């Protein structure tokens, strides 16, 4: 396990930081959020040109074959500017699921086009009552000749309205919470029988509630073995958790900087409020929270590609717990130290706080991952 | 009415009715009376809005306050001669708790608990005769003109200037964080009338008519998407000298008096109890692997932590109320009520957002407005919870940030 960036990672980090600094300021982001679909397609093209979309995709499918740490480096930079483009949905979840579960034919057909930015994916998995249980799947897929007929509801599907394909989990066997019996399907979003209700999320992204009403999917669109998808899903979601933590590390970094800048400049009682030790110590706590969370995140990112299941679980859950705690502390204290200004929509700090809070509330919050960790101590 | 012994507030809690104080028979009777009154006068629509943090209209507040006035319950904290109720501390506490439990909108504090005590203590007879009955009847909507862009925690540095010109002041400056100024027709306002000597000694307390040329209210959008606070710009605004409360340059003293008055309401014990009840209901509805969240030990312990804090807070509130009715001011320790009260409130919003899991994400600000009739995204109870969590971060900032409250205690109680 290495604790320093390679030369390539340094270059990647610099170019992604440069993008955020030059092309992704607070006002630009605000405009992007207001656009149709909630992100900027020109940025997506740029990501493709820069090789960022190809980063975790295997070389034989037009990718760069990067490691989880490489992707973490990129996402940390994205986090610094709260980039809203659908990297998590399309690459971290979509492409990775396709890559881990799909057959050679499927991978050759879709992955190159994903890497080029021409095909967008979205992971339709969580259901209205599933909370954080990845195996809580009620959506049913029933075999009918050469096809499957899919019925069910999916919840908080990020970037669904702009996706060309859904990677959809459905139950082909067993009961709601069973690990066995879940199958993944690649479903064109234009299929008939799909009803979508889209909305903004509180952290500036887009998501949808989706009803699948007797949606017909050809059996060649099954990804991986029938009934065995739980393991793929768990692995990919574990990696996604670490990469969300990486994004959070970037967001925390900016949130701490914004707060420190603010208290250095805001004057009350004839001096910068940052001259008061009580506030300095709180800024120090914020900085420490960020540093610990980031360190643990990279450790998990380094471990995830090589370790066994229980080591992976420990690494991932530890990182997610630490991120949840640190994100909460930094978000809440960031607002508090900004005072009333921190409450306004015009100041960036609140937007960082909201994203950090929502990263905690996806794929398991602090409590969930603490329990998961506790099961294997 | 029962005699209120000095240790009476320490009465124990019933085990069967969690969080309920043991009441004397006459107090139970009073509680039932308040409960029935709230039930009769609060519509389901308003109850729901109050409980969920959906937006209450001006009319929602006013209609409730007018009913309180008709019943004679608008100003429990006032002396009887001005229209107060003469209730015991326990009655006041029961009243707050029952109003909150029944989903009554909070009484807007700016008039009845903030400016009124100042007018009673320092205002002219004319001011008392004019404003106090109007406050009781909710005929005016007051807002508070304290903070300025450069004067938050350091309020005494305020720069909004009032220059005497014959029989009126000409006021120029900007106030900010002015809650609900969009509804207000009157503002009590701290202004600078002198630059001589100590900063605190050049401030006056004016009552400003908001409906006049030169007053501009501009909403500030907050991180939860709402616009309940405002900037208020004052340009050559005329304020008659008779609208000054008390003496010129003594405004700081009056403002401090206001801060030391009726501090128990800021603790919002009743509201927090009602929100804990709501939290438990939601945690019973949320399931993970077929088990309700309320049966999750870790989550239960977090609720327990907050309930214990709230019990401690309630006990301190009852002591302060008891001191108040014995004629003793709450003193600077009342700052603890603000600190702990807001910590408890914020703690509950944290558990609420945890409780709803994935449904913290959707954000449809319109859904919290009147007249939104679409199907909610996810469970109905979820939609306002995340915005409310973010909105409630304000509580440890407003009314003198919790850091300033600690400064007050350090200085005034511990003698640093």
Residue B287 to residue A133: CA distance in whole angstroms:
10
B297-325 vs B89-101: helix crossing angle, rounded to 10: 140
Contact A115, A184 (CB under 8 A): no
pLDDT digits (tens, 9 = 90+) for A62-109: 999 999 999 999 999 999 999 999 999 999 999 999 999 999 999 999
**Alpha carbon B32 to its chain's center:** 24
Q: φ and ψ at A198, to 5 degrees?
A: -105, 155
Q: φ and ψ at B163, to 5 degrees?
A: -110, 130
Q: Structural domains in chain A?
A: 7-119 (1.10.540.10), 122-228 (2.40.110.10), 230-374 (1.20.140.10)
Beta carbons of A365 and B362 less than 8 Å apart: no
pLDDT at residue B79 in the model = 94
Q: What is the complex's ipTM, to 2 decimals?
A: 0.95
User: What confidence category does residue B17 fall into, taking pLDDT thresholds of 50, 70 and 90?
Assistant: very low
Shortest distance, CA A23 to any CA of chain B (angstroms): 23
Give the closest of A332, A339, A344 to B152, CB-based.
A339
pTM reported for the whole predicted model: 0.94
Q: Which residue of A has its CA nearest to B225?
A: A345
For A21, residues 6+ apart whose C-beta sits below 8 A from its C-beta are: A81
pLDDT digits (tens, 9 = 90+) for A11-40: 999 999 999 999 999 999 999 999 999 999
Beta carbons of A344 and B220 less than 8 Å apart: yes
pLDDT digits (tens, 9 = 90+) for B165-217: 999 999 999 999 999 999 999 999 999 999 999 999 999 999 999 999 999 99
Give the closest of A129, A199, A343 to B362, CB-based.
A199
Q: Is the pLDDT of residue A116 over 70?
A: yes
List A residues 49-108 in contact with B (Cβ-Cβ < 8 A). none
Q: Is the pLDDT of residue B351 over 50?
A: yes
Shortest distance, CA A133 to any CA of chain B (angstroms): 7
Which candidate, A223, A103, A219, A106, places its Cα nearest to that of A169? A223
Residue B126: CB atoms within 10 A of its CB come to 9
Give the closest of B147, B229, B393 to A335, CB-based.
B393
Contact A111, A156 (CB under 8 A): no
List B residues 264-303 in contact with A (Cβ-Cβ < 8 A). 286-290, 296, 298-299
Q: Structural domains in chain B?
A: 8-107 (1.10.540.10), 142-249 (2.40.110.10), 263-412 (1.20.140.10)
Shortest distance, CA B305 to any CA of chain A (angstroms): 15
Say whether residue B393 is in contact with chain A using an 8 A CB cutoff. yes
Q: Which residue of B has its CA nearest to A282?
A: B403
Residue B103 to residue B38: CA distance in whole angstroms:
8
Residue B146 to residue B160: CA distance in whole angstroms:
10
List B residues 134-173 in contact with A (Cβ-Cβ < 8 A). 147, 150-154, 157
pLDDT at residue B370 in the model = 74
Shortest distance, CA B293 to any CA of chain A (angstroms): 10
Residue B81 to residue A13: CA distance in whole angstroms:
71
Shortest distance, CA B363 to any CA of chain A (angstroms): 5
Residue A338 to residue B391: CA distance in whole angstroms:
14
Q: What angle do CA B413, B415, B416 make, to 5 degrees?
A: 120
What is each CA distance from A269 to A272, B157, B174, B257, in whole angstroms?
A: 8, 8, 19, 21
**Alpha helices of B269-296 — where are they, by DSSP H?**
269-285
* Average pLDDT score over residue span A274-301: 97
> Could you tell me the two tokens for B233?
């710009």
List A residues 231-260 in contact with B (Cβ-Cβ < 8 A). none
For B308, residues 6+ apart whose C-beta sits below 8 A from its C-beta are: none
Residue A266 DSSP SS3: coil
pLDDT at residue A306 in the model = 76
Contact B46, B56 (CB under 8 A): yes
Contact A252, A328 (CB under 8 A): no
What integer best gives the mean pLDDT of chain B? 91
The helix (H) or strand (E) run that includes residue A195 is strand A194-200
Beta strands per DSSP E along B34-180: 142-145, 161-165, 168-175
Q: Give B398's contacts in chain A (Cβ within 8 Å).
A: 340
Burial class (CB in 10 A: 0-12, 13-18, 19+), B99: buried
């Amino acid at each position: 396990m290495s604790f320093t960036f390679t030369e390539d990672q340094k270059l990647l980090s610099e170019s992604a930081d440069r993008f955020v600094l030059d092309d992704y300021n607070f006002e630009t982001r605000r405009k992007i959020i207001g656009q149709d679909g909630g992100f900027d397609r020109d940025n997506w093209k740029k990501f493709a040109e820069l090789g960022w979309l190809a980063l975790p995709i295997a070389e034989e499918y037009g990718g760069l074959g990067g490691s989880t740490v490489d992707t973490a480096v990129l996402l940390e930079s994205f986090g610094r500017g709260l980039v809203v483009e659908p990297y998590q949905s399309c690459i971290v979840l979509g492409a990775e699921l396709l890559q881990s579960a799909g057959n050679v034919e499927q991978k050759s057909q879709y992955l190159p086009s994903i890497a080029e930015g021409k095909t967008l994916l979205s992971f339709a998995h969580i259901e209205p009552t599933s909370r954080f249980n990845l195996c809580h799947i009620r959506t049913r897929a029933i075999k009918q000749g050469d096809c499957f007929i899919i019925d069910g509801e999916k919840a908080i599907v990020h970037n669904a309205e702009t996706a060309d394909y859904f990677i959809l989990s459905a139950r082909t066997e067993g009961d709601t919470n069973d690990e066995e019996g879940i199958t993944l399907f690649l479903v064109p979003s234009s299929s008939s029988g799909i009803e979508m209700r889209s909305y903004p999320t509180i952290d500036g992204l887009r998501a949808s509630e989706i009803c699948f009403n007797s949606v017909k999917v050809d059996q060649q669109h099954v990804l991986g073995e029938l009934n065995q998808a739980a393991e793929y899903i768990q692995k990919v979601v574990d990696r996604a958790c670490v990469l969300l933590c990486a994004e959070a590390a970037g967001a925390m970094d900016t949130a701490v900087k914004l707060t420190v800048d603010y208290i250095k400049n805001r004057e009350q009682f004839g001096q910068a409020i940052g001259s008061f030790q009580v506030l300095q110590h709180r800024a120090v706590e914020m900085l420490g929270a960020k540093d610990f969370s980031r360190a643990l995140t990279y450790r998990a990112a380094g471990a995830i590609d090589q370790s066994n299941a229980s080591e992976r679980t420990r690494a991932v859950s530890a990182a997610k717990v630490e991120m949840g705690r640190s994100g909460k502390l930094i978000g809440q204290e960031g607002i508090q130290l900004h005072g009333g200004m921190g409450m306004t929509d015009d100041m960036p700090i609140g937007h960082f706080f909201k994203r950090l809070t929502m990263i905690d509330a996806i794929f398991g919050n602090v409590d969930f991952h603490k329990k998961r960790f506790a099961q294997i101590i | 009415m029962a005699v209120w012994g000095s240790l009476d507030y320490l009465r124990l809690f019933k085990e069967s009715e969690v969080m309920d104080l043991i009441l004397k028979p006459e107090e139970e009777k009073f509680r039932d009376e308040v409960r029935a009154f709230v039930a009769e006068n609060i519509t389901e629509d308003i109850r729901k809005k109050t409980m969920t943090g959906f937006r209450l209209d001006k009319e929602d507040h006013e209609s409730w306050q007018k009913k309180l006035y008709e019943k004679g319950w608008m100003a429990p904290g006032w002396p009887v001669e001005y229209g107060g109720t003469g209730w015991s501390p326990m009655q006041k506490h029961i009243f707050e708790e029952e109003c909150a439990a029944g989903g009554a909108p909070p009484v807007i504090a700016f008039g009845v608990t903030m400016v009124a005590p100042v007018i009673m203590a320092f205002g002219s007879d004319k001011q008392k005769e004019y404003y106090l009955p109007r406050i009781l009847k909710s005929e005016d909507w007051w807002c508070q003109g304290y903070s300025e862009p450069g004067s938050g925690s350091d309020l005494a540095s305020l720069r909004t200037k009032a220059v005497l010109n014959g029989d009126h002041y000409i006021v120029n400056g900007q106030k900010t964080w002015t809650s609900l100024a969009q509804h207000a027709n009157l503002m009590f306002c701290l202004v600078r009338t002198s630059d001589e000597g100590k900063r605190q000694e050049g401030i006056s307390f004016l009552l400003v008519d908001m409906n006049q040329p030169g007053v501009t209210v501009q909403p500030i959008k907050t991180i939860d998407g709402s616009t309940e606070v405002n900037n208020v710009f004052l340009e050559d605004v005329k304020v008659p000298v008779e609208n000054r409360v008390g003496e010129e340059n003594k405004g700081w003293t009056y403002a401090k008096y206001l801060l030391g008055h009726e501090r128990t309401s800021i603790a919002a014990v009743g509201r927090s109890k009602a929100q804990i009840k709501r939290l438990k209901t939601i945690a019973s509805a949320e399931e993970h692997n077929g088990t309700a969240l309320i049966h999750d030990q870790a989550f239960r312990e977090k609720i327990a932590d907050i309930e214990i804090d709230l019990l401690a807070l309630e006990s301190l509130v009852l002591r302060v109320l008891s001191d108040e009715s014995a004629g003793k001011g709450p003193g600077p320790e009342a700052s603890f009520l603000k600190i702990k009260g807001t910590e408890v409130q914020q703690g509950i919003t944290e558990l609420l957002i945890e409780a709803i899991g994935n449904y913290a994400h959707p954000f449809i600000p319109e859904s919290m407005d009147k007249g939104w009739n679409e199907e909610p995204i996810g469970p109905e109870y979820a939609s306002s919870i995340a915005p409310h969590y973010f909105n409630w971060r304000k509580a440890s900032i407003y009314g003198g940030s919790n850091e300033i409250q600690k400064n007050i205690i350090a200085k005034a109680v511990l003698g640093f």
